[in-house]
Structure 1
Amino acid sequence: MSLAVPLPPSIRVFERGWLSSNNVLVVDDARAALVDTGYATHAAQTVSLVRRALGERMLDLVVNTHLHSDHCGGNAQLQAEWPCETLIPVLGADAVRDWDETRLSFLATGQTCEPFSFTGTLAPGEVLTLGGFEWEVIGAPGHDPDSIMLYAAEPRLLISADALWENGFGVIFPELDGESGFAEQQAVLEAIAKLDVATVIPGHGAPFANVDGALERAYSRLAWLRTDPARNARNALKVLIVFKLLEVRSMTFATLEAMVADASAMRAAARQLAPQSAWPALVRELAGELAKSGALTLNGERVDAPATAA
Structure 2
Amino acid sequence: MSAAPALPASMRVFERGWLSSNNVLLVDEARTALVDTGYATHAGQTLALVRHALGPRALDVVVNTHLHSDHCGGNARLQAHWPCATLIPAASAATVRDWDEARLSFLATGQTCERFAFTGTLAAGDRLALGGFEWEVIGAPGHDPDSVMLYASAPRVLISADALWEHGFGVIFPELDGESGFAEQHAVLEAIAKLDVRTVIPGHGKPFTNVEAALERAFSRLAWLRAEPARNAKNALKVLIVFKLLEVRAMRFDSLVAMLESAASMRAAAQRLAPRAAWPGLLRELTGELAKSGALVMNGEHLEAPAAAV
Same fold by TM (over 0.5)? Answer: yes
CA distance in 1, matches of 2:101, 2:161: 21
Superposition pairs of residues 171-210 of structure 1, within 5 angstroms: 171-210=171-210
> Which residue is equivalent to 1:38?
38
AA partner of residue 191 (structure 1): A
Q: Secondary structure at the match of 1:251?
A: strand
Letter in 1 for 2:117: S
Shift of 1:192: 0.1
| Residues 161 and 204 in structure 1, CA contact (< 8 A), matched pair in contact too | yes
CA drift at 1:102? 2.1
Per the alignment, residue 236 of structure 2 pairs with 236
CA distance in 1, matches of 2:66, 2:104: 10
Q: What residue identity is the alignment partner of 2:276? A: Q
Partner of 2:61: 61
1:3 CA drift (Å): 3.1
Deviation, 1:84, is 0.3
TM-score by length of 1: 0.99
Kept in 2: contact 1:141–1:185 (CA 8 A): yes
Instruction: Confirm whether residue 94 of structure 1 aligns to residue 94 of structure 2.
Output: yes
Matched with 2:138 is 138
What are the Cα deviations for residues 184-203 of structure 1, in whole angstroms up to 9, with x where unaligned?
A: 00000000000000000000
Q: Percent of aligned pairs with the same residue?
A: 78
AA in 2 matched with 1:206: K
Alignment partners' CA distance in 2, 1:17 and 1:246: 11
Aligned counterpart, 1:246 = 246
Residue 151 of structure 2 is aligned to residue 151 of structure 1: yes
Which amino acid is the alignment partner of residue 156 of structure 1?
A: R
1:17 equivalent to 2:17? Answer: yes
Structure 2 match to 1:76: 76
For 1:279 and 1:257, how far apart are their aligned partners in 2? 8
1:56 Cα deviation from its structure 2 partner: 0.6
CA, structure 1 residues 234+136, in 2 after alignment: closer, same or farther (shift >3 Å)?
Answer: same
Aligned residue identity for 1:8: P
Q: For 1:83-126, what per-residue CA distance to the aligned partner results, in whole angstroms no more than 9, with x for missing partners?
A: 00000000000000001122111110000000000000000000
- Paired position in structure 2 for 1:113: 113
Residue identity matched to 1:154: A
Query: After TM superposition, what 4+ stretches of structure 1 lie above 3 angstroms from structure 2?
Result: none
Q: Secondary structure of 2:164's partner? A: coil
CA contact (8 A) 1:158 1:197 kept: yes
Name the SS of the counterpart of 1:169 in structure 2: coil
**Is the partner of 1:273 in helix, strand or coil?**
coil
| Preserved CA contact (<8 Å) 1:40 1:112 | yes
Q: What is the Cα-based RMSD across aligned positions, in Å?
A: 0.6
Shift of 1:2: 5.1
TM-score normalised according to structure 2 size: 0.99
Is the 8 Å Cα contact of residues 139 and 146 (structure 1) preserved in structure 2? yes
- Contact 1:2 1:206 (C-alpha < 8 Å) held by counterparts: no
Aligned position for 1:219? 219
Counterpart Cα distance in 2 of 1:187 and 1:2:
30
1:196 partner amino acid: D
Q: CA deviation at 1:18?
A: 2.0
What code does the residue aligned with 1:224 have?
A: W
Change (3 A) 1:260 1:2: farther
Which amino acid letter does the alignment assign opposite residue 132 of structure 1? G
| 1:4 and 2:4 correspond | yes
Tell me if the contact between 1:3 and 1:208 (Cα under 8 Å) persists in the aligned partners: no
Between the aligned partners of 2:260 and 2:217, the Cα distance in structure 1 is 30
Alignment match, 2:124 = 124
Amino acid at match of 1:113: C
